[in-house]
A and B are shown apart, each in its own frame.
Chain A
Amino acid sequence: MAVAAVKQYEFASADTVDKFHGAQLLYIGWEDHLMFCAPFAFPFPPSMPFGDIVAGVLPGAFGYHPDFAKIDWSKAEWLKSGKPWQPDAAKSLADNGLKHKDVIRFRTPGLTGIKGSFS
């Protein structure tokens, strides 16, 4: 369906990649840990290695949670747009096939939040 309008109705999207000063947006959620009320939004350069996110960014974003220190990253399961996905830590975001406004999530088997409440 299209919007009903009195004349041609076409406007640019407010969030195209060219507006982010060389960065692209990546959304990251941690499954079963709803103490973080929503997935996070990050602006990253597409050339950034994926491993830098896990090592350098996620601790600052998720580190408050007591489960975070217990994560075994070799067992983490990743989803991209809800489907199983395997990132390569050495490769860049672009080479991992991550585009502007992609959403990824990770599941950490065995960790289910505060007192198992998925918090």
Chain B
Amino acid sequence: MDMQVAKKKLGLKERYAVMTRGLDWTPSYQKMEDIYPYIAYEGIKIHDWDKWEDPFRLTMDAYWKYQAEKERKLYAIIDAFAQNNGHLNVTDARYLNTVKLFISGISPLEYVAHRGFAHAGRQFPGPGPRVACLMQSLDEIRHAQTQVHAISNYNKYYNGMHDFHHAHDRVWFLSVPKSFFDDAITAGPFEFMVSIGFSFEYVLTNLLFVPFVSGAAYNGDMGTMTFGFSAQSDEARHMTLGLEVIKFILQQDPANVPIVQRWIDKWTWRGYRVLTLVAMMMDYMLPKRTMSWKEAWEVYFEENGGALFKDLARYGIKMPDCAAQIALEKDHLSHQAWSTFYNYAAAANFHTWMPDEDEMAWLSSKYPESYDKYYRPRMEYWREEAAKGNRFYNKTLPMLCQTCQIPMIFTEPGDPTKLCYREVDYKGDKYHFCSDHCKKIFEDEPEKYVQAWLPVHQIYQGNCFPEGTDPTVEGFDPLAAVLKYYNLEFGRDNLDFEVSEDRKNFAEWRGQATKNV
């Protein structure tokens, strides 16, 4: 009989080495460039893939174990939330519009991030980054799923969330986050890693997830808060991966530095423009505020990001130039954004409203340089008109920026009284931009951005009506046709919060839970 000898268990470091290194072989009858066709054309030079260090040293078996544990906890809480009518515990029914913005604007990006990291991972010849990309790809699809599951509880009771993915691909303002990610996944694998892995996950992620998750916590939304916490350890890993990617690329060859700097400049600005939605969410949509957009930008970008770029200086990387303009916009961004959604409340999948007196006082105190001077007068006017039954609904379509696809709502840096107009002539046509930075991004790669699917232009081309619509018949109502194409119902999913079914239902249901009716 053979003696069973207990095998010595491998240590963490050895396990990691065994499971992530030496997995490749040198091909003999296929060329390397055929196997990895996208690795050279961006101009990034990598000499030694084994220099890649994964600070987490996470292996696949451990990954499954950790994630399964988190899933069990998350779904237990989501179930409890659903069974206890947790949706009635949020501060105020206006809060629900934050959830609508999240599910239609952000969750679909998690899914695209899943595809992006799967694609990038496949393209890297080094096993270290490939394994890291694989795990992040799985994280991202898990985040998409858990967000859909957590928010589906709200969809049972409230409007505007019923077809979020359909909306993401069609609704005018959702082309902003959608085109941002489409831009990233259609870049090469290195630019994708710098755009999403570094610029978004490392530099800007705190400005996306912290406001939504702490906003959820402050406003009694246990479901959203829980998936935020469940994603938190993943996000920490993604941030580390993003930083590792940058350092690895920069150390491999000095010729990589200017390419990476251009990508960081581009993607910091692109990401910041998407965060316009977060800015207005923080300052206007959360019934109970956590901090102002301006404060968040100062803490998470100016302080933390400032330290990061100081650290990267030794690799030859500097703070993106756009930071100077962003600093000038921080007093204005959220007010300009909320005004925009108030204008176009008839064409969105969530409700808007004017802040009440207390909220205006909060805005004045957080924005002493700008709110009373430039924004309070228009908001008070809108509020008075709405009280008279003359609520402002802007029915004329806006001019959009060719790059970020946001309506041209932004003012000149340093002059909040003048809209910023920039334009470029390219191959016989004009292209318009909200800023010098969006213009520069276009000029660097015009062939890419001339293809932009700008919702306003698409509507005028007749591409945003349900099939079979005849826009030439008498009395044709373009807004009604576009809402049908969006799969949104006029008077239920759109318009002002004051007249919404959400408001009425929430008040009634909460009344049943707390009073004797």
Contact = CB atoms under 8 A, between A and B. Distances in A.
Bound pair (A, B): yes
Contacts of B373: 117
A11 interface: yes
Contact of B461 (A2, A19, A64): A19
Interface string B114-155: 000000000000000000000000000000000000000000
A44 to B, nearest CB: 10
Given A6-B37, A20-B460, A117-B374, A38 B419 contact: yes
Contact of B429 (A15, A40, A113, A118): A15
A70 B419 CA distance: 22
Contacts of A71: none
A38 B451 contact: no
Contact of A64 (B392, B399, B460): B392
Interface residues of A, number: 50
Tell me the interface secondary structure of chain A in the complex.
Answer: loop
A29 B381 contact: no
Interface string A99-119: 111110100000001110111
Nearest to A43: B460
B35 to A, nearest CB: 14
Interface of A: 1-6, 9-16, 19-21, 23, 25, 27, 29, 31-32, 34-43, 60-61, 64, 81-82, 99-103, 105, 113-115, 117-119
Contacts, number: 150
A15 B398 contact: no
B129 to A, nearest CB: 20
Interface in B445-503: 445-448, 450-454, 456-458, 460-462
A41 B416 CA distance: 22
Interface residues of B, number: 59
B443 A1 contact: yes
B140 to A, nearest CB: 25
A35 B41 contact: no
B15 interface: no
Interface in B380-399: 381-382, 392, 394-399
21 contacts: A2-B446, A3-B446, A13-B429, A14-B452, A29-B408, A29-B421, A31-B418, A31-B419, A34-B417, A35-B392, A37-B394, A39-B408, A41-B400, A41-B456, A61-B396, A82-B421, A101-B429, A101-B430, A117-B375, A117-B378, A118-B416
Nearest to B440: A1
B339 interface: yes
B400 A119 contact: no
Given A13-B450, A39-B399, A102-B430, A4 B417 contact: no
A11 B444 contact: no
Contacts of B430: 99-103
B508 interface: no
A102 B425 CA distance: 11
B165 to A, nearest CB: 22
Tell me the interface secondary structure of chain B in the complex.
Answer: mixed
B392 A114 contact: no
Nearest to A61: B396
A43 B411 CA distance: 25
B306 interface: no
B343 interface: yes
A68 to B, nearest CB: 13
A103 B453 CA distance: 20
Contacts of B397: 40-41
A30 B416 CA distance: 15
Given A15-B429, A23-B460, A27-B432, A119 B377 contact: yes
Contacts of B339: 34-35, 37
Nearest to A118: B417
A31 B411 CA distance: 11
Contacts of A100: 429-430
Contacts of A34: 336, 339, 374, 378, 411, 417, 419
A40 B396 contact: yes
A100 B381 CA distance: 35
